Structure 1
Amino acid sequence: MHTVAVLALDQVIPFDLSAPIDTFNWARLPDGRAPYRVRVCSVTEEVSAGAFTVRAPYGLDALAEADTIVLPGTADPTGPLPPGVAEALRAAAANGTRIASICVGAFLFAATGLLDGQRATTHWVAAGDLAALHPAVTVDPNVLYVDNGQFLTSAGAAAAMDMCLHMIRKDYGSAVAAHAARMSVVPLEREGGQAQFIVHDRPPAPAGTTMEPLLEWLEENAGHDLTLEDIAARAGTSARTLNRRFREQTGTTPLQWLHRARVRTAQHLLENTDHPVERIAVQAGFGSPTAFRDRFKRVVGTSPQAYRRAFRGAPPRETGTGSRETGAGGLEVRVPQQS
């Protein structure tokens, strides 16, 4: 059985702590057995989790026995690591243990030095601080998670579940991961393909900005042959002004945004239809199958055919409601009484 150790440090973020516990505990093999044993460990007997405290039944020695270690974020991720944590994580890494961080848990991970020279991500709000504090780490704020093989990092909140489902898929295949996703009531795949990383979702634009109507129009017309001049005409401005305003409000250019929208359309078609690649290239708005394959591989990190093979796994075998390990990895939760 694969052992997952979730390290709860003081001021742990509750969602970061619970997401890997639940996601891994929902996984079931085709015969109904649980493939993961989840253990919550900590440095001290009790740690604060904001509105409540948690008592972890395992100490740092559990890290040495784990196949995977998950590092949830904390309310003060830039603070020093507790004594013994960095050493325990480095020793586990030297033994080949897989280590993954959630949200600002990347700060804790980076503080060990294990991410030096690696590509990583974190919550987009904290990405600049992570890059400044750990310049040896290449921070990418535009992805849901990064998989470097032994080391993984995820962005904020729900991206933790994306990353955990990705690890389940790597460990036990698409059917087991799909079952865990289904039981968690989340999609196995959000928009964006998985290779070494999940690709960009639609670049954000604050609600009510001048770009919002244009973004909706681009989404609806991504399959058409559009030029920058066409987009500028729709916006009622010059191409130069459009580029400047678009980058200010979305962080990218109109054509880059359009390319990503087309790739998202292609991913949906690859996952849900049997259409040949040549037809999908036309439906998604690419000029030719060659241009489609080139752009898809640059954005997603794999070919359209490989993406289709990876993300059209067989549906999970029904195993009934199944059972879950009691105690959520042995975790004890205490909610303070109000006076």
Structure 2
Amino acid sequence: MTISEPAQTAAMQSFAPTLGQSQHQEITVILPEAVPYSAAHMVAEVFQTANDLIASTPYRVSVHSLSSPIENDPRYWQRRTVILLGDLHQRWKLNTAQRSRLVQTLRLSQRSILIGSAIFLLSDGAMNGGHKVAIHPNFRAAAMEENLEEQTEGAATAKSGRIHSAISAFAALPLLIEIIQQDHGHFLADAIGEYLGLSQNRENSSRAFMQLRQSACDDPLIVGALKVMQEHIEDPLKIKEIAQMSGVSTRQLERRFQEKAGTSPLPAYRALRLERAQQLLQHTSLSLPEIAVATGFGSRCNLTRWFNKEYKSTPQHMRQMSFAGDSAQACA
């Protein structure tokens, strides 16, 4: 991840997922001068969630100011979305060099989102002609003076060609989900909206469930079987029993899992149970034997064995990392 100021690098490490060989989409967040890079955390969290819910790593987030040099090569911008994150209180002031970089950024980027006071960057860069924006009430009078046109009065978001806008970072969240939808389809976008609480449907927010469901392209038989598995975490059913409850033979269920999800029912079931164990380790004070029972592993030894195989870590170590500080030793 590219960071424009070295002093911010450590604070931003969590925003940069590890990249594999697959293509990735760059998300560049640009902040006003002197605004801490932590202001971009909410935006980064949306794309980090996308990375967590699919096997590849589609997004990489970087944070800059307009004091950073701008890359001239158009190829650099082919898969890049720029988010200009302004606040709700004051104008974003630019010097001559920053104004030049702004215009170059808006012209070259694949997509741009202007948030809050960032809408004034269009007029600062003499690019407001032909673009309609979403204007926060705090800025409506000033926007009229600068000939910024509101797309729909009172609207929280607006889209005008490659330039999108939102009245605040909170209002911009649906635009971020829409970017993911354009890149990866409705299912992943809906799953992320559900996971982050942006959707009324909270039926399943398990990452493992959504990953398997996505891999299976929402196959009804597999989704139904996964729901049965989630309902029987503490007392795991046999795969034969799940097949019977799903109205198919064991062989049919196993074949469908292999064809659609690329795995068999037993590892899928185990992934759901391990994820539940991880959640209990991180967010409760239950003992390891209690967690083993609550997730159907029976014994601490069995839980530890599968935990090591799946996460390359022990349950004790994960708990210590979650309960850092004086309580870490007590949780081991």
Q: TM-score under structure 1 normalisation?
A: 0.45
Greater RCO, 1 or 2 (C-alpha within 8 Å, sep 6+)? 1
Between Structure 1 and Structure 2, the one with more helix by share is 2
Q: TM-score under structure 2 normalisation?
A: 0.46
